[in-house]
């Protein structure tokens, strides 16, 4: 699997997504913030300077890179927040506090962020090279879909910013960004077929 770890500067230059809603091998103490609820296929975690396999039930800590292999999926449970990662996906969990939020970086691949409705809102930043999204306690998909970088919101609302343009995306709507630095297109209502396709890319049935 080709790996493309993005440093913080690269992410900041490209943009960011902001959300409003085993044996440890750290070089410094990092809190356990969740676990791998399920792993299908192959997944690794890069912690400090070492990388090792991530198995079902394995702990997730702050500053972990989680990487999935080809035809593989990872289901991460961080308190009441669920992260579903698709194949060949790289996610840095920079920091996370269950009741407050934190920051993450999506390097490659696709993910679904799922925080049930009715829970207190959190503020979390998910950075990518494509733009910045502001979310408050919601369920959404982000990642490549049909040749573009796409964001779809199932419930809640997100603000997607890229190329100097900001779009509000509500429940049932999605946007596309053709390439890093481009502005997101106008929001559109996604049809069921595309929603199911996006969710299937992270191993989630509609």
CATH number at 82 reads: 2.60.120.1440
Would you say residue 4 lies in a domain?
A: no
CA-based diameter of the chain, in Å? Answer: 47
C-alpha span between 89 and 105 (Å, rounded): 11
pLDDT one-digit tens code per residue, 39-48: 999 999 999 8
Would you say residue 186 lies in a domain?
A: yes
The answer, yes or no, to whether residue 28 has pLDDT greater than 80, is: no
Span 77-97, average pLDDT:
94
Beta-carbon contacts of residue 191 (< 8 Å; ≥ 6 apart): none
C-alpha span between 161 and 66 (Å, rounded): 25
Question: Which of 3-17, 119-133, 154-168 shows the highest mean pLDDT?
Answer: 154-168
Would you say residue 41 lies in a domain?
A: yes
Would you say residue 7 lies in a domain?
A: no
Distances (CA, A) of 125 to 52, 68, 122, 158, 188: 26, 21, 10, 12, 24
Would you say residue 116 lies in a domain?
A: yes
Would you say residue 173 lies in a domain?
A: yes
Average pLDDT, the chain: 86
Span 33-57, average pLDDT:
96
pLDDT above 90 covers what percent of the chain? 64
Query: How many other C-beta atoms can be found within 10 angstroms of the C-beta atom of residue 62?
Result: 19
The answer, yes or no, to whether residue 182 has pLDDT greater than 60, is: yes
**Measured in Å, how far apart are the chain's first and last C-alpha atoms?**
27
Span 15-27, average pLDDT:
44
Structure tokens at 75: 């289901």
- What integer pLDDT is reported at residue 133 of this predicted model? 80
Span 120-144, average pLDDT:
85
When divided into structural domains, the chain yields a total of 1
The answer, yes or no, to whether residue 34 has pLDDT greater than 60, is: yes
Element (H, E) at 14: helix 8-14
Query: For residue 54, what are the domain limits?
Result: 14-21+26-200
């Amino acid at each position: 699997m080709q790996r493309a770890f993005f440093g913080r500067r690269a992410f900041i230059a490209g943009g960011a997504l902001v959300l409003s809603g085993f044996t440890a091998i750290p070089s410094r103490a990092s809190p356990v913030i969740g676990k791998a609820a399920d792993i299908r296929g192959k997944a690794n975690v890069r912690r400090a300077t070492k990388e090792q396999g991530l198995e079902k039930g394995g702990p997730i800590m702050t500053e972990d890179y989680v990487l999935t292999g080809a035809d593989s999926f990872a289901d991460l449970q961080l308190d009441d927040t669920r992260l579903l990662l698709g194949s060949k996906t790289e996610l840095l969990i920079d920091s996370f506090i269950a009741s407050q939020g934190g920051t993450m970086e999506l390097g490659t691949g696709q993910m679904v962020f799922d925080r049930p409705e009715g829970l207190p809102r959190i503020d979390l930043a998910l950075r990518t090279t494509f733009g910045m999204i502001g979310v408050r306690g919601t369920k959404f998909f982000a990642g490549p879909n049909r040749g573009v970088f796409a964001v779809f919101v199932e419930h809640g609302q997100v603000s997607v910013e890229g190329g100097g343009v900001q779009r509000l995306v509500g429940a049932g709507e999605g946007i596309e960004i053709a390439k890093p630095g481009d502005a997101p297109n106008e929001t559109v209502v996604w049809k069921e077929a595309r929603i199911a396709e996006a969710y299937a890319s992270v191993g989630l049935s509609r």
